Structure 1
Amino acid sequence: MKNGYHIIDAHAHIFPDKIAEKATDGISHFYDLPMQYHGRVSEMLENGAAAGIDSFLICSPATTVSQVYSINAFLASCAAAYPMCTAFGTLHPRSETMEEDFAQLQKLQLHGVKLHPDFQNFPIDDPAAYSMYDMIQSSGLPILMHMGDSRSDLSHPYRLAMVLRQFPKLRIIAAHFGGWGRWKEAHEILQPDGRIRFDTSSSLPFLPVEEIRKLIAHFGAENCFFGVDYPMWDYGEELERFFALELSDAENRMILSENLTNWLEERA
């Protein structure tokens, strides 16, 4: 806890110890940004707890089809070992064994699906991904969708808006306030409704306080989750940035933990 609030990091990437540094270096190179941590589970738990984080939503997107099974097994093992962790599995839209992949994800009792269109190299609204969305929609599981990149439009907010029109019951967490580097477009295109939520990850270091407050007001504090995007940002600094927004006590409670807890319980 910090400042009296129960806190969930709603966006944490983790990797097996033997590949964690290599994977984190790859993320650093992709975004040309330094990483604060190395992506190990033990490091996340230690540093998160020291800063005041109580629970973690852990994930890891499969950048190739062959990674799906092993990543999901790893995430499930971490959730089983650490009760403060809730795991979202992964799928890859180009898999020729999508039904089997999704059956494994469900059998492992993973609580959602993490997709990263820019790492996985597919446009969000690619019709080739529609069978995947249909399966996820039918299950009621949410998708944690990476959103936004100033260098490409694979995860542009307009593509997500198209998918939401095609799949009226699909539940989405639009990461990075709906569009990293595309916050203006996210504000213009994405509207709050019962199916879509937004996390704060990798946004607080880039935007002025007033811009963040405008995004929260637009999307609704009741629709936002606090996320750090471990291993990218320092836990203590991200919490300082969040509390510098000077939101109300009710807004803090909702964003820091209550919203995510309630939304995940809707399907349970």
Structure 2
Amino acid sequence: MTIIDVHAHIYPEKIAERAVDAVGEFYLVDMYGKGTAAHLLESQKRAPISRFVVHSVATSAHAVTAINDFIAAQCREHAEFIGFMAMHQDFPDPEAEIERAVGLGLAGMKLHPDTQKVDMDDPRLMRIYEMIEGRLPLIVHTGDYRTDFSHPRRLKRILRAFPNLVVDAAHFGGWSIPEIGYDVLHEENVFIDVSSSMMCLGQRRTRELVRMWGADRVMFGSDFPMWDPAHEFDTFTSLGFTDDELEKMLGKNAERFVGAS
């Protein structure tokens, strides 16, 4: 069985320490990983994870092309990686960069409205969703009790406007607000991943939410370097799911998600 971690961040070695520190400060957590590709791949020694969907977030428009070049290069170097492109709401020619990223072999797009300080349904991003609808899947950070940028209701508006947009509403559709995420999004055509969730929800509530969402659209993810992929895998697979459920959530759903365009 192919096991895919659908949510992992990597950074160039020269900036990885600063990037990891910044994420830790934003979320007020002690980060697990070094943020490098090498450290991510070390988790394969302790868990049977076959592949990782890797990405990074552009917190400024001028960072977009460099991030996409880096992710594409890492994917060429490591067959285990499936690369998703970065984009920023102020990038001057998103259509051209999407074309370039596709040419580089990148398979999707990652956005993080909270760190990019933009409403998920901002008109600048709505234009970008229109460009990738039916072509590239999107992983989008969803839900933060401290801001309104990524509130699930904004994603609902996006999904209604672009019914053929394939989306992973990361972190159970509502990081830190998973109940709201479920209430707002469970009737929508959307995937969710479990990254950065289990440590707060606990085993019982994680299991309940997975069953509420349904195993056909839940995907395993670690949110490396915030957490250890091997530990997250061990935790997730110990929750009492059936073999059929695990086969879907550990790989089959991610394969459908990545290949949906």
Q: Deviations over 1:167-202 (max 9, x none)?
A: 111110110010110101011110255x41110100
Instruction: Return the match for 1:141 from 130, 136, 145.
Output: 136
Deviations 1:46-92 (A, max 9, x none): 12333322211100011100000010011001111111110001111
Query: Structure 1 CA distance, aligned partners of 2:215 and 2:49?
Result: 19
Equivalent residue letter for 2:259: E
Whether 1:189 and 2:189 are equivalent positions in the alignment is: no
Q: Is the 8 A contact 2:53 2:82 kept in 1?
A: yes
The verdict on how the C-alpha distance between 1:49 and 1:9 changes in structure 2, with shifts beyond 3 A counting, is farther
Alignment size in residue pairs: 261
Residue 34 to residue 93, structure 1, CA distance change in 2 (3 Å): same
Q: Alignment partner for residue 82 of structure 1, among 78, 85, 90? A: 78
Q: Equivalent residue of 1:221, what SS?
A: coil
Tell me, yes or no, if the aligned pair for 1:61 and 1:115 is still in contact at 8 Å. Answer: yes
Find the aligned partners of 1:259 and 1:242 in 2 and give their Cα distance. Answer: 15
Partner AA of 1:219 in structure 2: W
User: Equivalences for 1:94-243 in 2 at 5 Å?
Assistant: 94-137=90-133, 139-193=134-188, 195-243=189-237
Aligned counterpart, 1:45: 41
What is the alpha-carbon distance in structure 1 between the residues aligned to residue 66 and residue 244 of structure 2?
Answer: 40
Identity among equivalent positions (%) equals: 37
Take 1:123 and 1:46, find their aligned partners in 2: how far apart are those partners? 36
Moved more, 38-47 or 210-219: 210-219
Give the whole-Å Cα distance in 2 for the aligned partners of 1:49 and 1:132: 38
Indicate if the aligned counterparts of 1:136 and 1:170 stay in contact, CA closer than 8 A: yes
Is there any run of 5+ residues in structure 1 with no aligned partner, and where?
none
**Does structure 2 retain, via aligned residues, the 8 Å contact 1:202–1:228?**
yes
Is the 1:65–1:94 contact (alpha carbons within 8 Å) kept by the matching residues of 2?
yes
TM-score (norm 2): 0.96
Secondary structure, counterpart of 1:26 in structure 2: helix
